[in-house]
Amino acid sequence: MADDLNKQENNQKIESTSQNTSTKIYSDDNIDVTTYKCPNCGGETFFDPKVQKIHCLYCGSMFEIENKTIATERNLTELLESGNVWTEAEVYQCKTCGAKEILNSQEVSIKCPFCGTNNIIKTEELPGLKPQGITPFKLDKNQTSQIATKWAKKKLYAPRDFKKSVKPENIQGVYNPVFTFDAQTDSTYNGTLGKNYTTYRYINGKRVACTETRYFNISGLQTVTFDDILIQASSTIPTKIVNKIEPFPTKKAVEYKTEYLRGYFANTYNKSGQECWNECKTIMNSTIERQILKRYDYDIKLSLNIQTSFMNEQYKYILVPIYVGHYNYKNKLYNFYVNGYNGKIGGKTPVSKIKISITILIGLLILVGFLLLMTYA
Ligand SMILES: [Zn+2]
Ligand SMILES: [Zn+2]
């Protein structure tokens, strides 16, 4: 109880109408992106995943982020025709690895999360659409470090000395851009499927089982409603890895506020809205096909034509939380990626050539043994 009271004392809610300059307003409209200073002490502040508030590193003050409404969907045409740009953000680029990030100028001294060098410069490029939603980080760097250590120690093919002294380095929170799409679909289809069956024939007086196929025509209507189909809008973090650490709870996204970016990087999207929507349609089309085929008992798909109309297409542009860090082993960096919401991890660790050779050798021995058995049995 006493603890709660203390917390309340610290949690000075930032009011939007305050004359006192020492309690500066932290709202989206009048935020000064170049200085994220604590109103109480002038120290640097950051978004603290543990308390889901803005936290001052120096005096410990915490500030709530106003307005936590769930991000709403927007009409797809807005995305495809959009020329909006996100005016309060700036694009920086790492000169070493080429990664493009959005961050505020005071953070430029930070090491690039992808290659670990200190070579980040501002570019002329505009940051593109402003996100409408964000899934804030839930795990902090300490928890991420523990997850990364545990994971590396469990890696079967990692060298023993690496596992013994594993130490995750340069852990940075990076918000990765995703589009989520909704749509209702109506499809008409026709096609030909085949079902196998067994008949018996007498060949030279012997009863022999034969497989034959009976073909039949299909046609009909199929309606599928899609909700929050997630498409990665940046390829800076390899899609394979992002897929591995999914899901990101886009349903839990809150309205985007610049405050959530404080202390973090944000990747710019490098795929167009149209490109992402096309990718999404491919996923939707294959789902529709699967749903249609599920209605039938068949073994062979000879042909299937589907005509689909898409309706009520909507999108959300959301930032999702990923921690990027690396292990340094024999002066080589191995990146790992942790879902900042649920702690799922993917990435690379060094591999021991000896361990792999032994595995291959054992595999070969088993194979040789098996072949010998087959030959002499
Ligand atoms: Zn402070
Ligand atoms: Zn870099």
For the stretch 44-101, pLDDT in tens is: 888 999 999 989 888 999 988 876 666 677 888 877 776 656 666 778 888 888 888 7
Domain tally for the chain? 2
* pLDDT over 70 percentage in the chain: 85
What distance in angstroms lies between residue 340's CA and the mean position of ligand 2's atoms? 20
Classify residue 367: in a domain, yes or no.
no
- Of 29, 64, 99, the domain-final residue: 64
Classify residue 192: in a domain, yes or no.
yes
Average pLDDT score over the chain: 83
What distance in angstroms lies between residue 58's CA and the mean position of ligand 1's atoms? 5
What distance in angstroms lies between residue 107's CA and the mean position of ligand 2's atoms? 14
What distance in angstroms lies between residue 62's CA and the mean position of ligand 1's atoms? 8
- Give residue 288's pLDDT band: very low, low, confident or very high (50, 70, 90): very high
Classify residue 177: in a domain, yes or no.
yes
Order of strands, edge to edge, in the sheet holding 53-56? 45-48, 53-56, 62-63
Average pLDDT over residues 206-233: 94
Q: Are residues 26 and 141 in the same domain?
A: no
Out of 35-49, 230-244, 300-314, least confident range: 35-49
Q: Which two three-digit tokens encode residue 312? A: 């009520």
Domain that holds residue 8: 1-64
pLDDT per position as a tens digit, 301-348: 999 999 999 999 999 989 999 999 999 999 899 999 999 999 999 998
pLDDT at residue 196 in the model: 95
Average pLDDT over residues 180-198: 96
What distance in angstroms lies between residue 134's CA and the mean position of ligand 1's atoms? 25
Average pLDDT over residues 33-48: 76
Task: Tally Cβ neighbours within 10 Å of residue 254.
Answer: 18
The bound ligand whose nearest atom lies closest to the alpha carbon of 333 is 2
Higher pLDDT residue, 108 or 1? 108
Of 119, 85, 116, residue with least CA distance to 268? 85
Q: Are residues 28 and 78 in the same domain?
A: no
Q: Are residues 156 and 55 in the same domain?
A: no
What distance in angstroms lies between residue 41's CA and the mean position of ligand 1's atoms? 4
Classify residue 186: in a domain, yes or no.
yes
Higher pLDDT residue, 220 or 370? 220
Classify residue 104: in a domain, yes or no.
no
Q: Are residues 152 and 282 in the same domain?
A: yes
Of 83, 95, 84, 86, residue with least CA distance to 33? 86
pLDDT at residue 356 in the model: 80
Higher pLDDT residue, 91 or 103? 91
Q: Are residues 50 and 139 in the same domain?
A: no
User: Ion ligand 1 — residues with CB under 5 Å?
Assistant: 38, 40-41, 43, 56, 58-59, 61
For the chain, the distance separating the N- and C-terminal CA atoms, rounded to the nearest angstrom, is 77
With a cut of 50, say whether residue 23 has pLDDT above it.
no
How far apart are alpha carbons 31 and 49 in whole angstroms? Answer: 21
How far apart are alpha carbons 317 and 256 in whole angstroms? Answer: 10
What distance in angstroms lies between residue 365's CA and the mean position of ligand 2's atoms? 44
Classify residue 41: in a domain, yes or no.
yes
The bound ligand whose nearest atom lies closest to the alpha carbon of 97 is 2
pLDDT at residue 213 in the model: 94
With a cut of 70, say whether residue 125 has pLDDT above it.
yes
pTM of the prediction?
0.76
CB 227 within 8 A of CB 185: no
What distance in angstroms lies between residue 350's CA and the mean position of ligand 2's atoms? 20
What distance in angstroms lies between residue 20's CA and the mean position of ligand 2's atoms? 41
Q: Are residues 3 and 50 in the same domain?
A: yes
How far apart are alpha carbons 324 and 307 in whole angstroms? Answer: 42
What distance in angstroms lies between residue 143's CA and the mean position of ligand 1's atoms? 24
Q: Are residues 144 and 203 in the same domain?
A: yes
For 81, phi and psi rounded to 5 degrees? -105, 0
